[in-house]
Structure 1
Amino acid sequence: MPMLHFHPGGRFLQVSTVGCNFDCPGCISTVIVREMNPDSRALQELTPGQIVEKAIHDECLGIAFLMNDPLAAFDTFLAVAELAKENGLYVGCSSNGYFSVESVNKLLPVLDFINIGIKGLSDERYRACAGFKGVAPVLRNINMLHQGGVHIELACIHRKDNAAELLDLCAVIKDISPKIPLQVMRFIPLEGADPGQEPLIRETEALSRKMRALLPHVYVFNSPGTKELDTVCPSCGETVLSRDFYGPMGARLKTPAWGQEERISCPECRHPLDVRGEVNISDFREKDFQGGYPFTRALEIVESILIAIGVESKAEVIQVWEYLLCNGKMHDLHHDIQQVEKYVQMIRFFGSLVHREGSANILAAYLEEKTESVRAVCLERGTRPRVYYAMGKPQFCIKGERFENNLVEICNGISVNREITVSGRPGMSIPLKTLEDLNPEIIFISAFISNSPVDFYQECVEKGLDIDAVQNKRIYTSPIPSSDFGCPKWILGLMNIANEMHQGERPFDIFKEATGFYARFYGVPFNMQDVNRSFGKPDAAWTWEAEEQRPSSVPV
């Protein structure tokens, strides 16, 4: 949960339900708010008492309601919140802030912190999400919550078309309180969202610096390796709290706890930093797909496989979700999607769960055949280049065990990522010296949260990074978004890696291969302008067929 100024690094129990009062294009939580049935066996039904008891048992500071809006289960949220407060726990939530006055008055006695996602300053932006009264109720509620003593952090999305609007938003927030942090979420087009609206990392960072001239605490998310996640003293410019990218919408503290003051201030000039509560540095790591964003991406990966074997009903997808969740198989899923052989086995297994063994075997056999073809072509080249896989920026190194590094090795490359110990999700920032010692000949940038190779190269030059890949300008990313991890179209990313790693004749026509893949497994034409960064759906134009009656459940 993006909450940077309230007990930074503190341990909170995350809870959620399903559904939402909004219907936003490109929703990052679609699998929870729109596609998961409220009566699904995959959901745990807990009483308020059980939730509070678990938070206390796990030594949490409080309870955070996130992933979907508390308005979807408002009475339940209030019941949990009231009991939590009675037991000395903090209570917070992520929300679109589209409450009535009556609802805000009910929240004020029990709410300690809230992250409100601002859709924009225009009524049109809200109506696009089904907020038919426009932006006014949200701005009113921010005022009410601030006056009521609730700690507020705001999040907004930067698209290519709304930079001026976000600068205006800073002025509006400053009038309410300049102490409110504003989190800029670089737009990552998912679901039906327009891929043409995705800004480059440098564009969002440049905008954030302009915004910080108007509002002291502005942060940048969805940008691996950015320094715009750090808390900087607005008076002297000292970096006080340093953070690293921890998956989209996530940030992890890197600096040690230098104080446990209730009012945290800059150690250089003593200027207050508007941080409430203590700083907590912990070695705690969520398991595999735990946490909000990784959990939804896991469900999307499963969905992507099922769509590719011909599943047309969300009910069938939910069957497989339920099987995995009810049988504690998320750990297996996390492990299996990192290896090509296991991934192919998983396709066949999912096919058996939904009685689509034939189409599952066709997809699996296709991936096996194409993978062996790539392996054979690359072995013929004879060379074994040293390859570094980054995400976003040069210093953000993905973990050595991840799927992308396996693709590099299939192409007869040496994955230098395996030579260093990297934690975090999906990796972490490393020192420039470490990258120089690795001295890769080739760099690939993740095709999910990506970056322009031109921008990437320019940053390497600005940092004085003296490695072979920079000297020879061998920095690449797949031309097809999200095609090197997660969904079955990773086979297209594998072919692109083979093309770029072994200079000379390019053995694979990526766009011809993509056209054939989309026609065969998605039943739709390949249109590069429609392909976004979704793991689950083939492109922005793809929709579910009319819902059929829910099939019988698979055994658990």
Structure 2
Amino acid sequence: MICPICERRCRVEENSVGACGRYQCHNNTMLERFPNSYLVVAPISAETMPVLHFHPRAKFLQISTTGCNFDCLGCISTVVAKEMDVQSPALKKLSPIQIVNKALEQECDGIAFLMNDPLASFYSFLEICTLAKECGLLTGCSTNGYFTPESLNLLAPHLDFVNIGLKGLCNDIYKSCGANSYKPVLRNIELFYRKGVHVEVACIHKKDNDDEVLAIADTIAKISKEIPLQIMRFIPIDDANINLEPSILASEMLYKKLTSRLDYVYLFNSPGSECLNTYCPECGALIFERDFYGPMGSKLRTISHNYQNNTCSHCHHKLPIVGNPCQKVFDEDGFEGGYPLTRALEIVEGTLATLGVTDQKEVTTCWEELLRGDGLKRLHVNIQNFEDYATTIHYLAKMTHTETTAKKLLAYMRDKIAIIAQELPKVITKPRVYYVMGKPLFALEEERLENKLVEMAGGISVNKTLGLKGRPGRKISVETLNALNPDVIFISSFLDCPLEEFYTFCEEQGIVVNAVKTKRIYTHLAPCFDFGSPRWILGLMHIANMLHPELYHFDVLHEAKFFYQEFYDTPLNITSINRSFAKPSQYHKMLHI
């Protein structure tokens, strides 16, 4: 029979499965093979999902399973969509009524299917949505939008919002994911919109696709100029090429062009950018101020006095915001809520990679152990300082029988830390150091490892005087930064910024601190060299060199070459290193044994 769930429309023989592996043909009916099995069941705020015009700040119960009907290069959810075993013991068996009851018990406003696609667990999600609506809960999902008209018509009456990821307006892009055409997605955006489901559309901005994103905006505008368009600045992970990543400035320039085509455009994955805010399309008044909140996420920080009952009080323009903003702020715990879970799993995989673990089954076993009990919370704490980090390395080594390699790794790290510590008594003046992500005003929160690296290298972390809490930080004002007056600024290697653009941002915003005047602003040798895997030891050496060049003379490039050969068993190729915590280069592959 032809599977009716997604527009790949797999032809499936009796007792066989379709391309996604999630459904089996039995008596000429497609049955869900792994129903009611959840990897994530945890609260999340609306903007973190992300939806920006639907019940601002509302609290939802996030549910996520495994698998996907697509197979896309550079997928940010690859660890749950492709790599997690579909029958992992980490999966929780929960009936629809149990899911609904959890949402009610945790005082959630609704339930949302996120991270992997609901098309991978369609019938389970449909049953939950049906029951949730009966219990007065909101429902929604993020999806690639590849529904058939049949599956869309089944789900739409029970769905309140949908965030549809549009990969482009080219069949080749969809064929690279295993699909056939982009046209079903455009059809479904309009169908959901016409059926009264709140629709937001997300697309990726890569260095080479400005024209395509502009064409997407024009296409959406034909349906409605009020549909919010979320521009996801491309974060190259998994096997994606770092050269496809645009700078924040390049994405902001595209954003400005898009705002002439649509009323509401938002730029994600760009810490410190003002392009996550909502402005009145008529008069330009600020309505909602938001911050970067991890990959693909945001956080509503301020509701302007210009916002009154879905109306701009400045010009009285009616704003298409569904639901009143919740006054109570919900902050996700540690790695919970949205894509930070995938980063947590990547951190484990990245640590295992340095131990020589190449079997995906071993990685998955460690993930499963992490996801039991309070493993995620412990990991979030343990990665913030060396001794706890060492405990985590020992723990993973014991699980994978790589204790000998772990001893070598930790001996190397301890040796470099000891060299730095030995010289610290000679430091006369400790420079004041400010650590940012992306643009100048996005300060890393005080508990981040990067701030501890600054202190280990003989600096004073001014971030710790700001009292910022929550991942991974938040915007501060120009006045606050100028008052801090740091001597040195380091830019996070996870989401960094070309130095020339960073200095331009500082000039435009009136940032006149010592670090700008003396040109002591630094990036790292390569992405993810200061957080996310044991590679941070290379970042520590670089920080020491920059803070105290009179004391430290580490050849960081030489050390990186040694580290890669010794612990990844591969030569260093700087140009192949992307934003992945898990993989030392875009070419690194696990063995699926």
The TM-score, its normalising length taken from structure 2, stands at 0.90
> How far apart, in 2, do the equivalents of 1:441 and 1:294 lie?
31
Match of 1:205 in 2: 252
> How far apart, in 2, do the equivalents of 1:374 and 1:196 lie?
34
Q: Which moved more, 1:349-358 or 1:154-163?
A: 349-358
Q: Provide Cα deviations, 1:80-108, integer angstroms capped at 9, x if missing partner.
A: 11111111111100000011111111111
Match of 1:238 in 2: 285
Match of 2:395 in 1: 349
* 1:30 and 2:78 are equivalent in the alignment: yes
Provide closer, same or farther for how the CA distance between residues 503 and 364 of structure 1 changes in structure 2, counting only shifts above 3 A: closer
Q: Which amino acid aligns with 2:105?
A: H
> How far apart, in 2, do the equivalents of 1:323 and 1:259 lie?
48
Indicate the SS of the match to 1:166. Answer: helix
> How far apart, in 2, do the equivalents of 1:523 and 1:100 lie?
46
Indicate the SS of the match to 2:92. Answer: coil
> How far apart, in 2, do the equivalents of 1:385 and 1:6 lie?
45
> How far apart, in 2, do the equivalents of 1:197 and 1:11 lie?
34
> How far apart, in 2, do the equivalents of 1:207 and 1:256 lie?
26
Q: Which of residues 100, 119, 138 in structure 2 aligns to 1:90?
A: 138
Indicate the SS of the match to 1:92. Answer: strand
Q: Which moved more, 1:64-73 or 1:263-272?
A: 263-272
Q: Provide Cα deviations, 1:327-347, integer angstroms capped at 9, x if missing partner.
A: 322211111100012112211
Note the C-alpha offset of 1:479: 1.9
Residues matched between the structures, number = 545
Indicate the SS of the match to 2:501. Answer: helix
Note the C-alpha offset of 1:539: 0.7
* 1:403 and 2:449 are equivalent in the alignment: yes
Contact 2:435 2:492 in 1 (8 A): yes
Contact 2:306 2:312 in 1 (8 A): no
Match of 2:489 in 1: 443
> How far apart, in 1, do the equivalents of 2:467 and 2:569 lie?
42
Note the C-alpha offset of 1:444: 0.3
Q: Which of residues 109, 113, 124 in structure 2 aligns to 1:76?
A: 124
Aligned runs of 1:251-262 on 2, under 5 Å?
251-256=298-303
Contact 1:478 1:496 in 2 (8 A): yes
> How far apart, in 2, do the equivalents of 1:107 and 1:279 lie?
26
Q: Which of residues 173, 184, 193 in structure 1 aligns to 2:240?
A: 193
Indicate the SS of the match to 1:512. Answer: helix
Contact 1:240 1:267 in 2 (8 A): no
Q: Provide Cα deviations, 1:469-502, integer angstroms capped at 9, x if missing partner.
A: 1111111110210110111111111111112112
> How far apart, in 2, do the equivalents of 1:391 and 1:469 lie?
16
Q: Which amino acid aligns with 2:138?
A: Y
Match of 2:104 in 1: 56
> How far apart, in 1, do the equivalents of 2:501 and 2:581 lie?
25
Indicate the SS of the match to 1:109. Answer: helix
Q: Which of residues 60, 74, 78 in structure 2 aligns to 1:12?
A: 60
Q: Which moved more, 1:453-462 or 1:409-418?
A: 453-462
* 1:433 and 2:472 are equivalent in the alignment: no
* 1:511 and 2:553 are equivalent in the alignment: no
Note the C-alpha offset of 1:314: 1.3
Indicate the SS of the match to 2:158. Answer: coil
> How far apart, in 1, do the equivalents of 2:409 and 2:572 lie?
17
Match of 2:519 in 1: 473
Task: List gaps (5 residues or longer) in structure 1.
Answer: 549-556
Provide closer, same or farther for how the CA distance between residues 309 and 532 of structure 1 changes in structure 2, counting only shifts above 3 A: same
Match of 1:111 in 2: 159
Indicate the SS of the match to 1:254. Answer: strand
Match of 1:485 in 2: 531
Contact 1:260 1:279 in 2 (8 A): no
> How far apart, in 2, do the equivalents of 1:452 and 1:267 lie?
39
Contact 1:344 1:368 in 2 (8 A): no
Q: Provide Cα deviations, 1:398-419, integer angstroms capped at 9, x if missing partner.
A: 1112100111111111111111
Provide closer, same or farther for how the CA distance between residues 195 and 86 of structure 1 changes in structure 2, counting only shifts above 3 A: same
Contact 1:241 1:253 in 2 (8 A): yes
Q: Which amino acid aligns with 1:61?
A: D
Q: Which amino acid aligns with 2:505?
A: E
> How far apart, in 2, do the equivalents of 1:192 and 1:424 lie?
29
Q: Which amino acid aligns with 1:509?
A: D
> How far apart, in 2, do the equivalents of 1:281 and 1:304 lie?
39
Q: Which amino acid aligns with 2:192?
A: L
Note the C-alpha offset of 1:51: 0.6
Q: Which amino acid aligns with 2:359?
A: S
Q: Which moved more, 1:283-292 or 1:380-389?
A: 380-389
Q: Which amino acid aligns with 2:168?
A: G
Match of 1:553 in 2: none
Match of 2:468 in 1: 422
Task: List gaps (5 residues or longer) in structure 2.
Answer: 1-48
> How far apart, in 2, do the equivalents of 1:119 and 1:167 lie?
13
Contact 2:287 2:307 in 1 (8 A): no
Provide closer, same or farther for how the CA distance between residues 507 and 399 of structure 1 changes in structure 2, counting only shifts above 3 A: same
Note the C-alpha offset of 1:292: 1.5
Indicate the SS of the match to 1:459. Answer: helix
Indicate the SS of the match to 2:93. Answer: coil
Q: Which amino acid aligns with 2:312?
A: C
Match of 2:578 in 1: 532
The TM-score, its normalising length taken from structure 1, stands at 0.96
